[in-house]
Amino acid sequence: MNEDDFRQWSRRAADWGADYRSSLRERPVRPRIEPGDIFRSIAASAPEAAEPMDTIFADFEKKILPGMTHWQHPRFFAYFPANAAPVSVVAEYLVSAMAAQCMLWQTSPAATELETRTVDWMRQALGLPQGFSGVIQDSASSATLAAVLTMRERALDWQGNRQGLAGHPQVRVYSSDQVHTSIDRAIWISGIGEENLVRIRGQGRFRAMDKAALEAAIVADRAAGMLPAGIIGSVGGTSIGGTDDIADIADVARRHGLYLHVDAAWAGSAMICPEYRHYWAGAEQADSIVFNPHKWLGAQFDCSIQFLRQPQDLVRTLAIKPEFLKTHGRDGVINYSEWSVPLGRRFRALKLWFLLRAHGLENLRAMIRAHVAWSERLAARLAGEPDFEIVSQPMLSLFSFRHRPAIDHDADEHNLRLVNAINDDGRIYLTQTRVDGRVAIRFQVGQFETTSADVDAAFSVITEIARRVV
């Protein structure tokens, strides 16, 4: 591809992207295909000779697009959003064109310094105190792994990386039963082991860890010769929005000398609205916090911010400094590869900088407030229907519900058939979960382009299809 071709196809791709976004309401949210359909449509081997871009692009539209789930669809109510505001997409064009490797200050000074500045913008927007620094990780999974590795090293007096875990007491980490599975993976990868993740059963509306039970578990483990290392708190868990009393568990962590990490991957975005900050009261006492601007705020994936009270602990855990990675003659510079598990780093700060400037915090607050209000309204409407029950009340814009079958059928099987029928219909997209062992259907509002009319349409689709599924 020469320079003229690059210019032509870049313009065509941009035009295609704008046309695609404008046509989303006409498409089913989830593709109507069977497993293997796309795989069988792709040639079994790579071509020996170059093919023309017209052919490649035509195959993209014919073979690939029909197999895509449309995450930017305004009626995407499944999982949590993975928003990509158009201004963020434009910034990613620029990042892709420059194709910089931003592992060190010297490999892209502007990328490093913009990251430092935009992360501090977000700290201020969330109402966190000045004591926090931060880094943009690829995802909350990586941020949580970095936090677990740090709490492990701190508990082992910084000997774990050098000596391994053999010969040391069993390292213990504590969380509620509402945390994301990324916590399990971090425990696996860190070598701590699944049996050493102590789950404290949640209680109350938001399934928060019981403070007394948490403390009792720590005391019992220490008496048994184990090594309590850290606590992972949840704010807005994936299943039903499980949220711990962060002030309570911060008090326990402080008295027992444990590292506290707060996972607010989804709900953290809502903290730009001061009226929602009570959900994470006490977060300012945490050692680290993660939230994902690529979920609710509109920064294209991947863009996850990890705030740190003592970044030197993270650097001590992760940094390796061979001669070829040193920046001579520049004392005091930040090399963010020392704050992350991967060495290679993308220029993630640019899309966040574009986004915050193009929308402004007040417009982002208005969007989040609207999503919360629309979700609460839909929950109230479903609660008023004779055959529906609200299983978990709204936590911000997330709630779950269940439909009661008209005749004596298994309720779990009935609700699974209902959510599958809704998704096969294509007008909206939902997901299921289990609450106290029983199937429930999740609903969350968070897509950047969603309107009140889209949420009203969801009510119509849900109730219409429920009448047909018996």
pTM for this structure?
Answer: 0.91
Q: Annotate 139-160 with DSSP letters as a single string.
A: -HHHHHHHHHHHHHHHHTTT-H
Q: What is the largest CA-CA distance in the chain?
A: 77
Q: pLDDT at position 200, please?
A: 94
What is the SS3 assignment for 224? coil
Q: pLDDT at position 326, please?
A: 59
Measured N-to-C along each axis, helices 311-318 and 140-155 cross at an angle, to the nearest 10 degrees, of 90
* Nearest one of 143, 114, 109 to 335, comparing CA atoms: 109
* Nearest one of 359, 357, 363, 346 to 115, comparing CA atoms: 346
39-47 CB contacts, 8 Å cutoff, 24+ apart:
none
Q: pLDDT at position 107, please?
A: 84
- Measured CA to CA, the distance from residue 20 to residue 92 in angstroms comes to 17
In this structure, what DSSP letter does residue 47 have? -
Reply yes or no: is the peptide bond before residue 302 cis, omega within 30 of 0: yes
Strand partners, 403: 388
CB-CB neighbours of 113 under 10 Å: 14
Give Cα 30 distance to the centre of its chain: 20
Q: pLDDT at position 140, please?
A: 87
Residues 411 and 438 sit within 8 Å (Cβ to Cβ): yes
Q: Two tokens at 96?
A: 């892709």
pLDDT in tens, the chain (470 residues): 899 999 999 999 999 999 999 999 999 999 988 899 999 999 999 999 999 999 999 999 999 999 999 999 999 999 898 999 999 999 999 998 888 888 888 888 888 999 999 999 999 999 999 989 999 999 989 999 999 999 999 999 999 989 989 889 999 999 998 887 888 899 998 999 999 999 998 888 899 999 999 999 999 999 999 999 999 999 999 899 999 999 999 999 999 999 999 999 999 999 999 999 999 999 999 999 999 999 999 999 999 999 999 999 999 998 876 555 555 444 568 888 889 988 888 889 999 999 999 999 999 999 999 999 999 999 999 999 999 999 999 999 999 999 998 777 799 999 999 999 999 999 999 999 999 999 999 999 999 999 999 999 999 999 999 988 86
Q: pLDDT at position 329, please?
A: 45
Residues 112 and 345 sit within 8 Å (Cβ to Cβ): no
Type of residue at 118: T
Q: pLDDT at position 21, please?
A: 94
2-8 CB contacts, 8 Å cutoff, 24+ apart:
5/53
In sequence order, the 6+-apart residues with CB closer than 8 A to the CB of 424 are: 32
Q: pLDDT at position 136, please?
A: 95
* Nearest one of 48, 146, 118, 427 to 303, comparing CA atoms: 118
